[in-house]
Amino acid sequence: MIEGLVMRSTGSWYEVQVGEDIIKCRTVGKLRLGTMKVTNPLAVGDRVAIEMEPNADTATIKEILDRTNYIIRQSPRKKHYLHILAANIEQAVLIVTIRQPKLKQGFIDRFILMTEPFDIPVHIFFNKGDVYINDDLATYEYLKDIYENIGYKCYLISAKEHKGFKQLETLIEGKTTLFSGQSGVGKSSIINGLAPDLDLKVGVISDYMGKGQHTTTFAEMFDLGKGTKIIDTPGIKTLSYNYLEVQDVAHNFREFFEASSDCKFPDCTHRNEPKCAVKERLQSGVFSELRYNNYLKIIDEVEEQNYWERNKS
């Protein structure tokens, strides 16, 4: 058998890179998925073992090799299933904007909640800096201070004016990087700025709703040479967590987890418990109230979803 790298999925067929060749592959039978209920057995970035089919230039995927990590989300179409966005990545670039469309800051924390369990570094790029007014720039500096204080680097970039690309090019060099963001933030435009030959389809912002339109419909990996690979993912509208418990969320808000060793109770949820180190740091201004409020919203959603799951008929 031959080892290869899954670059693209097109329904029942997969494009697998073997050396400099791309081989069309399909699966036969069911691949082992462990205990996860997933909509997609294979993900872009998976390393697989394939076997060439007799008298053909196509192959069969026989096995998924061990993953170093993966990014997973609740399936947007089947709420009781999970969807693997990508596997075996070294870092993630999250694209956001403050306007066009308007920033939904809570999405940043929701995205990080997918990467934090595997210690996948996340770099946050604020796109469309060319249209920011003074209030927007103040918002950027405010958010930059919050996230850089807990270890997530932030950058200002403009795909339209091609500003800020030097930092991004240096950051992704020689690595496999997942690019993600909500619809309309300019992710495809940024990737086109990195690799114009790709000529990815670029969407427009709805004037009426101020929301982005999906342009990428499936995850796809692009090999830019010299070990640099980028994974483009579909724009995300919302993120939910049918696979998490409250303590999973608490453990993956990194600053809260670090402080939790000083809490009175080892299973502290940092809400109403006495002698909670997280609440103490929040009151003294050490922790961000914005992050904390996002945390509360997520654990409330997780508790509600888990309640209905456990009590459904």
Domain 246-303 is of which CATH architecture?
Answer: Orthogonal Bundle (1.10)
Domains 70-232 and 246-303 alike in fold: no
pLDDT, position 35: 67
Token pair in block for residue 4? 């290869």
**Angle, CA 153 vertex, CA 151 and CA 154 arms, to 5°:** 140
DSSP 122: E
C-beta pairs of 137-145 under 8 Å, 24+ apart in sequence: 139/98, 139/103, 140/98, 143/105, 143/108
For the chain, 313 residues long, the average pLDDT of each consecutive 10-residue run is 92 89 86 72 94 93 94 82 92 95 90 94 97 96 97 96 95 97 91 86 46 56 94 82 90 97 96 97 97 96 73 54
In terms of DSSP bridges, do strands 176-181 and 91-97 run parallel, antiparallel, or are they unpaired? Answer: parallel
pLDDT, position 30: 66
- Cα radius of gyration rounded to whole Å, the chain: 21
| Cβ-Cβ contacts under 8 Å for 33 (sequence gap 6 or more) | 41
- Quote the pTM value: 0.89
Strands (E) across the chain are located at 2-10, 13-18, 21-27, 47-52, 59-64, 70-74, 82-87, 91-97, 122-127, 154-156, 176-181, 220-225, 228-232
pLDDT, position 98: 95
pLDDT, position 212: 40
Cite the DSSP H helix spans in the chain.
106-115, 134-149, 165-172, 187-194, 246-251, 254-259, 277-283, 289-311
d(CA 143, CA 2): 46
Q: Would you tell me which CATH number, out of the four given (3.40.50.800, 3.40.50.1220, 3.40.50.2300, 3.40.50.300), belongs to the domain 70-232?
A: 3.40.50.300
pLDDT, position 37: 83
Task: Give the start-to-end residue ranges of the domains of the chain.
Answer: 2-64, 70-232, 246-303
Contact assessment for residue 194 and residue 224, using Cβ atoms and an 8 Å cutoff: yes
Q: Which fold has domain 2-64?
A: OB fold (Dihydrolipoamide Acetyltransferase, E2P) (2.40.50)
What one-letter code names the amino acid at 268?
A: C
